[in-house]
């Protein structure tokens, strides 16, 4: 089936996210958030030369943007600061979108705070005055989608499909990269092109006779806005 509507995350932040202001980056736990994504935004004055963006103790995976342009991804276990940028004389807006990828549930690291846990530096200088959006993805029904698929970067995609008789099935997302999928508001789970699982289980009770709605939050983009329903799972 084909998805026919979309909207960029940056165009619906005030719908899917709750905005907070803070001099410094705060963790999800400090903002009473348990799961999902958190976005940090600040303005940087210029001009400044090419320098690394340093996310101190990011938990767990962060996408970095300058004026909406994707610069790169940083993981919690990266040993090198591989994302750099320069700032023009008129300044620029920095966005850091962090994904909570799960919590440690054993051993001495169980107090596993999520988001940016220490600070964000542009080269050696800490950055301050942040707008922080907590995004738990529990209000996607409020999104006002636009007709057409023209988005780049983190975006929501929507489509409608018909069901004659609800039955267990499996959702395949060939060509999609990484994100979260919902059917009729039910969170099916996360997908990632690296696998090993290639399908998401769709239990019959969440389907309806007639019209059903699918929403996908994709972080990076896809080859084509299409998904498939299969009779059998692909687990590796």
Measured between alpha carbons, how far is 180 from 200 in angstroms, rounded to an integer?
Answer: 10
**pLDDT for residue 36:** 96
pLDDT in tens, 39-55: 999 999 999 999 999 99
| Average pLDDT for 14-22 | 97
Domain CATH code at residue 215:
2.60.120.260
Between 77 and 117, the higher pLDDT residue: 117
Q: What total of structural domains would you count in the chain?
A: 2
- The answer on 34 and 54 residing in a single domain is yes
Inside any domain, residue 11:
no
Q: Which residue, among 27, 216, 221, has the nearest Cα to 116 in the 3D structure?
A: 27
Measured between alpha carbons, how far is 41 from 6 in angstroms, rounded to an integer?
Answer: 23
Residue 150 reports pLDDT greater than 90: no
Which residue segment(s) compose the domain that 159 sits in?
139-230
**pLDDT for residue 106:** 84
**pLDDT for residue 107:** 85
DSSP E strands in the chain: the ranges are 5-8, 18-22, 37-44, 48-59, 61-66, 69-75, 84-87, 92-99, 115-122, 125-126, 130-135, 146-147, 155-163, 169-172, 178-183, 186-192, 199-202, 210-218, 228-230
**pLDDT for residue 234:** 92
What percentage of the chain reaches a pLDDT higher than 90? 88
Inside any domain, residue 5:
no
- The answer on 164 and 176 residing in a single domain is yes
pTM of the model: 0.95
**pLDDT for residue 236:** 77
| Average pLDDT for 191-209 | 95
| Average pLDDT for 211-235 | 96
Domain boundary among 103, 135, 167: 135
**pLDDT for residue 235:** 87
pLDDT in tens, 103-130: 888 888 778 899 999 999 998 899 999 9
Let me know if 226 is exposed, middle or buried by CB neighbors in 10 A (0-12, 13-18, 19+). Answer: middle
Between 107 and 155, the higher pLDDT residue: 155
Domain boundary among 89, 113, 135: 135
Place of tokens 């780049």: 152
Give the DSSP letter of residue 15.
H
Average pLDDT across the chain, whole number: 95
Beta carbons within 8 Å of 195's beta carbon, 6+ residues apart: 236
Q: Which residue, among 198, 150, 148, has the nearest Cα to 174 in the 3D structure?
A: 198
pLDDT in tens, 159-181: 999 999 999 999 999 999 999 99
Question: Could you tell me if 16 and 9 are in contact, meaning their C-beta atoms sit under 8 angstroms apart?
Answer: yes
| Average pLDDT for 205-224 | 97
| Average pLDDT for 82-94 | 95
pLDDT in tens, 26-36: 999 999 999 99
Return the H-helix or E-strand segment holding 16: helix 13-16
Domain boundary among 135, 151, 171: 135
Rounded to 5°, angle at Cα 11 from 4 and 2 = 10
Inside any domain, residue 109:
yes
User: Given CA atoms 28, 33, 36, 39 in this order, what sign does their dihedral have?
Assistant: negative
């Amino acid at each position: 089936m084909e998805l026919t509507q979309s909207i960029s995350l940056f165009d619906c932040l005030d719908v899917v996210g709750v905005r907070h202001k803070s001099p410094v980056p705060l963790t999800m736990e400090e903002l009473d958030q348990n799961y999902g994504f958190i976005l940090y935004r600040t303005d940087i004055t210029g001009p400044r030369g090419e320098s690394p963006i340093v996310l101190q103790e990011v938990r767990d995976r962060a996408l970095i943007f300058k004026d909406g342009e994707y610069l790169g991804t940083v993981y919690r276990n990266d040993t090198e600061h591989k994302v750099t940028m320069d700032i023009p004389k008129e300044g620029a807006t920095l966005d850091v979108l962090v994904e909570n990828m799960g919590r440690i549930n054993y051993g001495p690291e169980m107090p596993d705070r999520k988001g940016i846990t220490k600070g964000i530096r542009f080269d050696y200088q800490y950055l301050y005055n942040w707008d922080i959006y907590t995004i738990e993805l529990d209000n996607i029904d409020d999104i006002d989608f636009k007709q057409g698929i023209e988005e780049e970067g983190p975006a929501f995609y929507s489509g409608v499909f018909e069901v004659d008789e609800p039955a267990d099935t499996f959702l395949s997302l060939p060509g999609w990269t990484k994100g979260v999928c919902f059917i009729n508001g039910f969170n099916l789970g996360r997908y990632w092109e690296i696998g090993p699982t290639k399908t998401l289980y769709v239990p019959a009770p969440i389907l309806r006779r007639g019209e059903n709605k699918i929403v996908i939050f994709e972080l990076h983009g896809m080859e084509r806005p299409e998904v498939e329903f299969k009779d059998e799972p692909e687990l590796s």
